[in-house]
Amino acid sequence: MKQKFAFFDYDDTLIHGDSGRALLKYYLKKHPLAVFRLLKVAVAFPLSIIGLVKFQTAKSAWLFPMDNLSDEELNDFYQTCLIPKYYPNVVAELKDKKNDGYLVYICSASIEGYLRFCDLPVDGILGTKTEVIGGKYTSRMIGNNCKNEEKVTRLTAVIAKLGVEIDYENSYAYSDSMHDIPMLKMVKNRIRINKKNGEMKPVRFILHSDSLRAALWAVARWTPTAGGLHFQFSIP
């Protein structure tokens, strides 16, 4: 049986900005002296780029607030810091797709530890996973970062578990980033979100070169036009 799906990225797609950065600001407002923990982050990420530190270690360092925030505080963070960042038009689009019989999934590199408090009418949330100890979500990242091809792996597993076939012609995917091109390739209808204002425009790729595809995506994201850039791409 074929089923219509709608896949949504989260940061700069459903919300304006980066949710991980918002979490850090929320925590530092409560615990100003924790700013010194950022020194570890500042060291870990460059070392991960040159391969001296695992990426999981670097991302876990960035997520240190998770080790000290209760579920009540994480829920408060979501309600007070993330919901106000929703793009109203994208949220309306998500709700319309749900009402039209689509299975709606959020798929994000942000962590499930706080995305689980999402109040939107979705069928599932797939995010980067962190270790849960005694029922508490921690900063320790486990598995792969839910980004690039990992999103396809995670979504494909969900579709297989549901025992349905994706309706390619009528399914949709939404993102602000070229990193989500693999996810966009899963559907025919690909929607680019302008991270500045949440404006939605169709994107159709017909490019096979990763570098050229990335370059044109960057142009499509950042170049404003009266009628909007309308690239005719096609990703097979």
Q: Where are the domains of the chain?
A: 2-16+87-233
pLDDT of amino acid 234: 29
Angle at 5 between CA 98 and CA 146, to 5 degrees: 110
Q: What is 2-16+87-233's CATH superfamily? A: HAD superfamily/HAD-like (3.40.50.1000)
pLDDT of amino acid 235: 31
For the chain, counts of helices (H) and of strands (E): 9, 10
pLDDT of amino acid 57: 85
Q: How many CB atoms lie within 10 A of CB 152?
A: 17
Where would I find the H helices in the chain?
Answer: 19-30, 38-49, 55-62, 71-77, 88-99, 112-115, 149-162, 181-184, 210-222
This prediction has a pTM of 0.85
Q: State how beta strands 200-205 and 189-193 pair.
A: antiparallel
pLDDT of amino acid 205: 57
pLDDT of amino acid 215: 53
Chunked into runs of 10 residues, the chain (236 residues) has average pLDDT values of: 97 97 95 82 78 84 93 98 98 98 98 98 98 96 95 98 98 95 96 96 65 50 38 32
pLDDT of amino acid 15: 98
